Amino acid sequence: MKFRMGHWLLRPGMDPIYAAEAYGLERKNGGLEFIAPSGRIFNRGCTLSAALNVRISAPSEGVIRVDLWHFKGDGAKYPRYELNEEERSLEISENEEYADCTSGALTCRVSKRPGQWGLEFMQGGQRLTSSGEKSAARILDKNTGVSYMCEELDLDVGEYIYGLGERFGAFTKNGQTVEMWNGDGGTCSELAYKNVPLYLSSKGYGVFVDDTGDTAFEIGSENCEKVQIAVKGEHLSYMVIAGPEPKDVLERYTRLTGRPALPPEWSFGLWLSTSFTTNYDEKTVSGFIQGMADRDIPLSVFHFDCFWMEGFKWVNFTWDRETFPDPKGMLRRYHERGLKICVWINPYIAQNSECFEECVSKGYLIKKADGGVWQTDLWQAGMGIIDFTNPEAWKWYQQKLKKLLDDGVDCIKTDFGERIPVKGVKYFDGSDPMRMHNYYSYLYNKCVFELLEREKGKGNAVLFARSGTAGSQKFPCHWGGDNSAAYVSMAETLRAGLSLSASGFGFWSHDISGFESTAPAHIYKRWCQFGLLSSHSRLHGSSSFRVPWLFDEEAVDVLRRFVRLKCRLMPYIYQKAVEAHTKGTPLLRPMFMEFAGDPACETLDRQYMLGDRLLVAPVFREDGQVTYYLPDGVWTHLLDGRKMTGGRWITEKYDFMSLPLWVRPGTVLPIGARDDRPDYDYTKGLKLALYEMAEGAEVQVDIPSAGGESAMTLRVCGEKSVSVVKGPKDAEIEILTGEAARL
């Protein structure tokens, strides 16, 4: 949201009230409160002017909240993010010039100088960012009558901004206008399915805006020196989150907004879908499942997309009996083959669904302001939308899904949740429709995930969700939306995943080979490599099937190789999944997150770290050429055993059976004994592959069991000594070095 015409002038009709100084500081309720008048207070007469009210508080250790109000009497019922706030008091010290408000390692210094507005945020004595002259404001747009609360925080020389949810454009957000508005726009536009009002800075701090509405960010765009935050209304609440490392920021942020649940081990295997508009029945599905088995490609989950239900009736939660006459028996037969089953749903009820009249009569759908049911043809004819603010609608929706679980469904693809109306509608609980637009996705996915945890047990619940916002990371996993069958879309998909990871989401997936159109074989094969080196891996498309033999025979070999590689890497991958669950550190990590001190890593968006030990650079060209950056140290290629000295850029060509997959120096990589499934006892037949261990180095390795508990803890000293700290003392652990460490 731009308010200015350059540095000096405001746009026509913009009427600002700027915070000019801090007046009447008062320690209250564990925080610091004061008035910010619009001009310097020289005498009593100067108090007869507009002002902002300010409160500085500490919702959590290392986090400082700033609340700015113009009018406090707004009686609208807003949905608020569910935050795990602690009752902490700021440490406050004052002198004549300033008041220091400290939470953990983070300090907000409030200027007390007359006529000088200033909030300066510091960590370890170093300045992170600040709000200065004409930064904190209320701006009334006289053209529309809409009021905005604004803040501008300084950008430093060479400072980069990341995150703000799933974004398909440039990875570093400098120079961009970013609005928090969930939309179904595919992967090639500024719209995003998952908007999160959190950004990370390369200087080692984060900023989270505690507002579920259409928050707008100008990141060095209106003012090249500032990040401007603007929200509609009379109140702005933002939090500065301490680092000093990006992972520290995410640990604090997810402690506040919620840590990702730990997905079950089986969910990390290969998922195969019916695709969207294809014609299929049990014979088709069974043929694909058998085809994968005949080709020795391990399959973990089979997904039934939309047309498991009849057309025009989405959703009615009922199998199309013409296509699937015995759904319960069919699911039992697939379970006997060792498969888990996923089905597609959305939060919309078509008027041709058998459920529609019941939902209307019981008030389960979002209503128009005049009392009727809000309906649209945009997706399903005459559809309404479940109102998850109604507790009875919540229970009803869960009851419908529970029957599917009872019949043998294991997990749910929660599609849509973005096309939520805001004009002329009302919610059961009176929530503001504008602020419900994004937050609806949180309630929708929470409703389904809550049921799965209740019915399947914690540690065995998983979604495949498209929409989300702050806090939605608690309900994994999320996929990247409707991409297309092209390298450029594959690259934008990765950029979105990196941005989402920088926004606190621990688990992420995408449609391998692209959703729209059908990829040529070379794109399919390259995307299979990338997809199997993501946290979750799904073959899915729109109008054609995605089994590899429909592309070429080499695609079968490529898919088999990388599915089996992922299965062998599961002790490591699940170890990092537990880390995401307990600390909030994502499995897919942008390079800056692991190498914050390396300037070359600050803008990289065509490679990533899988956990902290494996570097992946997907290939985005038909000829197999790829250019990537290796940080300092001697790295080892996981697949061919080559050594490479880092601190430089590398250009190479790879065939379809390989890609840049490098092991970080000093790594002890746990390798599993099985390559035919992702869920097995990782301690049995365990091997430890050692890469460039420094002489005398000691590394502790934890091997998790199902549910994330530690099954075994090992201590590795050098290349020959391994001892069991926890677990069976007689366990036989094989050490792999050199050529033996190739996979």
Q: What is the pLDDT of residue 721?
A: 83
Q: What is the pLDDT of residue 430?
A: 96
Structural domains of the chain, with CATH: 4-154+205-242 (2.60.40.1760), 265-486+515-571 (3.20.20.80), 667-741 (2.60.40.1180)
Position 442 pLDDT exceeds 90 = yes
Position 11 pLDDT exceeds 80 = yes
In sequence order, what are the beta bridge partners of 119?
Answer: 110, 131
Whole-number Å distance between alpha carbons of 482 and 503 = 20
Relative to beta strand 205-209, strand 198-201 is antiparallel
Confidence of residue 74 (pLDDT cuts 50, 70, 90): confident
State what percent of residues in the chain have pLDDT above 70: 100
Q: What is the pLDDT of residue 76?
A: 79
Instruction: Answer whether 530's CB lies under 8 Å from 618's CB.
Output: yes
Q: Is 420 exposed, middle or buried (0-12, 13-18, 19+ CB in 10 A)?
A: buried
Q: What is the pLDDT of residue 71?
A: 96
Relative to beta strand 537-539, strand 270-273 is parallel
Position 498 pLDDT exceeds 90 = yes
Position 561 pLDDT exceeds 90 = yes
Q: How many other C-beta atoms can be found within 10 angstroms of the C-beta atom of residue 413? A: 23
Helix (H, G, I), strand (E, B) or coil at 38: coil
Render the burial of 298-314: b for 16+ CB within 10 Å, e for the rest.
Answer: bbbbbbbbbbbbbeebb
Q: For 218-264, what is each residue's pLDDT tens digit?
A: 999 999 999 999 999 999 999 999 999 999 999 999 999 999 999 99
Q: How many other C-beta atoms can be found within 10 angstroms of the C-beta atom of residue 637? A: 18
Render the burial of 75-105: b for 16+ CB within 10 Å, e for the rest.
Answer: eeebbebebeeeebebebeeeeebbbbbbbe
Place of tokens 């707008």: 216
- Percent helix / strand / coil, the chain, rounded to 5: 25, 30, 45
**DSSP tag of 13:** T
The crossing angle, in degrees rounded to 10, of helices 391-407 and 433-456 is 40
Q: How many other C-beta atoms can be found within 10 angstroms of the C-beta atom of residue 350? A: 24
Position 709 pLDDT exceeds 80 = yes
Confidence of residue 566 (pLDDT cuts 50, 70, 90): very high
Position 718 pLDDT exceeds 80 = no
Confidence of residue 729 (pLDDT cuts 50, 70, 90): confident
Instruction: Answer whether 605's CB lies under 8 Å from 595's CB.
Output: no
Position 286 pLDDT exceeds 80 = yes
State what percent of residues in the chain have pLDDT above 90: 96
Whole-number Å distance between alpha carbons of 182 and 469 = 8
Kindly give, in sequence order, each residue whose CB lies less than 8 Å from that of residue 318, ignoring residues fewer than 6 positions away. Answer: 309, 310, 354
Q: What is the pLDDT of residue 205?
A: 98
Structure tokens at 155: 């950008």
Closest CA to 81 of 420, 584, 470: 470
Task: Report the chain's mean pLDDT, rounded to a whole number.
Answer: 97
Could you list the active site residues? Answer: 415, 418, 482
Q: What is the pLDDT of residue 728?
A: 85
Confidence of residue 464 (pLDDT cuts 50, 70, 90): very high
Position 696 pLDDT exceeds 90 = no
The helix (H) or strand (E) run that includes residue 679 is: none
Q: For 180-213, what is each residue's pLDDT tens digit?
A: 999 999 999 999 999 999 999 999 999 999 999 9
Position 719 pLDDT exceeds 80 = no
Structure tokens at 515: 């959703």
Closest CA to 273 of 253, 301, 295: 301
Q: Integer distance in angstroms from the first to the last C-alpha of the chain?
A: 51
**DSSP tag of 229:** E
Q: For 112-164, what is each residue's pLDDT tens digit?
A: 999 999 999 999 989 999 999 999 999 999 999 999 999 999 999 999 999 99
> Quick check: bond before 477 cis, omega within 30?
yes
Instruction: Compute the radius of gyration of the chain from its Cα atoms.
Output: 27
Closest CA to 263 of 558, 495, 549, 580: 580
Whole-number Å distance between alpha carbons of 594 and 296 = 36
